[in-house]
Amino acid sequence: MAASLTFSELCQTCGKSQVYVRNLLTSLGLPAPAKDSRYSSAYARFIQTIIALRTFSVPLGEIADLFAKEQIVLRLLKIDGLGVSPTWYLDQCDNNKGRKERRLLLTGYDVGFPIDSKVI
């Protein structure tokens, strides 16, 4: 996957129409794509995760709630202070490294310890 995708390429990568992806973004309160917007591979993985959850009939309201909670966790970890990007919640998340059991579901941020009920 390319390091920087146009909105059209993002939609192709996700296998969904531009209208579907744009509606998903606005429903979750994410920035609307501008004509010259470029999206990282982490952003594409984020959108693909949301699409997968929707495919399994997870309500958009529950996804939005989880996303809000993940942003709270990332703010508590001071991740929001590491950049000024509107997608700060993905900028420090590299899904290619580390173990999946240590990652937040939507953003893919590695919290450094296994996330299960026993630890939390």
- Could you state, in order of their start, the residue ranges of all structural domains in the chain? 7-102
All residues at 6 or more sequence positions from 59 whose CB lies less than 8 Å from its CB, including other chains:
none
Alpha-carbon span 114 to 55, nearest angstrom: 26
**What digits encode the pLDDT tens for the residues 41-60?**
888 888 999 999 999 999 99
Residue 5 zone, left/alpha/beta (φ > 0; ψ -120 to 50; rest): beta
Neighbours of 110 (CB within 10 A): 19
- pTM beyond 0.85: the answer is no
Model pLDDT, residue 12: 93
Structure-block tokens of residue 104: 């937040």
